[in-house]
Amino acid sequence: MQANSTEEDLEIRAQAEQLKRGIQAVVPENGLEDKLALSKREKRPLRIKLGLDPTAPDIHLGFAVVLRKLRQFQDMGHQVVIIIGDYTALIGDPSGRSATRPMLSAEEIKKNAETYVDQLARILQRERTEVRFNGEWLGKLDFAEVVKLAAHMTVAQVLQRDDFANRFGAHQPISLHELLYPLAQAYDSVAIRADIEMGGQDQTFNILAGRDLQREMGQAPQAAMFMPLLVGLDGHKKMSKSLGNYVGISEDPVVMFSKIMSLSDEAMKEYFVLCTDVPLDEVEMLLAESTTGRTNPRDVKRRLAKEIVTIYHGDAPSVAADDEWMRVHSAGEVPQDMPVMGYDAAISKAGTVWVCKLLVTVGLATGTGEARRLVQQGAVSVNGEKVPSSEWEPQAGELDGTVLKVGAKRYVKLQRNSQH
């Protein structure tokens, strides 16, 4: 008996260690171990909660960090409960925001939710994923019940939150309904009897509010696991679509690969830890080699890119993406795949094509003013030859099949569709 329980202890400790990779914090400190032990004792899977705000339906690497963590739980036999915040989206999570979020319409929410669920399947196990909409329970509360719930929290508590505090301090508007957000999210935990809630650090207040509310309503408080926010490709701000510094998990392997290659060096470690399964001591070794100059940092980054692309696309596409990247960026060759664009719309009555108009037609410049600037700055080339002047205007036929390049990385193959 004694030996048995020690063995279990070891197993739990091993599992916990694995689950803690890349984790920022667990509250309470040994909450994870306790919950795992509870699961063993009661012979039931833990319920791991993750709330989603159905606002931006695309899943990028930053968000995948949490999902991959959930997947680890699933692989250990636990149950993941995804909560689509259709009701809370009516509020708009103020977390990390410096402004009130626009409220979404019911249709938008529904559409976003569907795309979400599809994408979740790329990382999570279907059988161990329960998807719930929080309108299911929040929608049933009547005003008296909301008031009763609201009595569990004080304004001072809510205003402790950094984002509210900052906005308050900066004299920016905070709508009353935003204050209800943490409460609603906390109630979700009660409704689904969460054992553990995952979230980014910006969710600290909301998740801890869940613990308080569960306790007050006679449930065992959930443990909180905080994932760090993955920095974006710029290496400074968090990854997000609106900042344009993201890598989507459904993106084309070649695009994904080259995006990762443009990552800041300082962020490499974080990416290795959070986005790959490369053992931590190996990561340390790779990074050490790159700083001492034994390995070109570029090649360590290639390894990183390859690991990540493999997770979402498989081995062969990953290797192919690497080859393509080396071919284009190291050997300076033209990429294999590039968008083919017709340029008939840019052909003048005289049968010539003015470069600036061409750039606009093909979508490489937003207006001829910008196009003119690009050409003048020497950013535009045709078949590898720099366009000499913004007034360059060749015969239409000369451009058919040529490669138009703008800046360092935007290529288009020109194609004439019809004769005029």
Partner RNA sequence: GGGGAGAUACCCGAGUGGCCAAAGGGGAUUGACUGUAAAUCAAUUGCGGAAUGCUUCCGAGGUUCGAAUCCUCGUCUCCCCA
- Residues of this chain that interact with RNA (CB under 7 A) are 168, 171-174, 234-235, 244, 258, 261-265, 296-298, 301, 325, 328-330, 348, 354, 356-357, 366-370, 372-374, 377-379, 391, 393, 406-410
**Could you identify the residue written with the tokens 């830890």?**
273
Smallest gap from residue 90 Cβ to RNA (A): 18
Smallest gap from residue 190 Cβ to RNA (A): 30
Smaller CB distance to RNA: residue 93 or 188? Answer: 93
The residues with which 337 forms a beta bridge, in sequence order, are: none
Smaller CB distance to RNA: residue 39 or 390? Answer: 390
Smaller CB distance to RNA: residue 71 or 241? Answer: 241
Smallest gap from residue 91 Cβ to RNA (A): 16
Q: CA 253 to CA 309: how far, in whole Å?
A: 6
Enumerate residues 6+ apart whose C-beta is below 8 A from 42: none
Smaller CB distance to RNA: residue 193 or 409? Answer: 409
Enter the DSSP assignment of 53: -
Smaller CB distance to RNA: residue 196 or 356? Answer: 356
Smallest gap from residue 209 Cβ to RNA (A): 23
H helical segments located in 262-340: 268-275, 280-292, 297-313, 315-325
Smaller CB distance to RNA: residue 46 or 379? Answer: 379
Helix (H, G, I), strand (E, B) or coil at 242: coil
Are the C-beta atoms of 340 and 385 separated by less than 8 Å?
no
| Token output for 8 | 């279990």
Are the C-beta atoms of 236 and 212 separated by less than 8 Å?
no
Smallest gap from residue 180 Cβ to RNA (A): 16
Q: CA 265 to CA 286: how far, in whole Å?
A: 13
Are the C-beta atoms of 230 and 275 separated by less than 8 Å?
yes
Smallest gap from residue 400 Cβ to RNA (A): 18
Smallest gap from residue 372 Cβ to RNA (A): 4
Report which residue type is found at 167.
R
* Ramachandran class of 153: left when φ > 0, alpha when ψ lies in -120 to 50, beta otherwise: beta
Compute φ and ψ for 112, nearest 5 degrees: -60, -40
Smaller CB distance to RNA: residue 196 or 374? Answer: 374
Smallest gap from residue 3 Cβ to RNA (A): 51
| Token output for 53 | 């705000």
Enumerate residues 6+ apart whose C-beta is below 8 A from 156: none
Q: CA 23 to CA 27: how far, in whole Å?
A: 11
Smaller CB distance to RNA: residue 125 or 377? Answer: 377
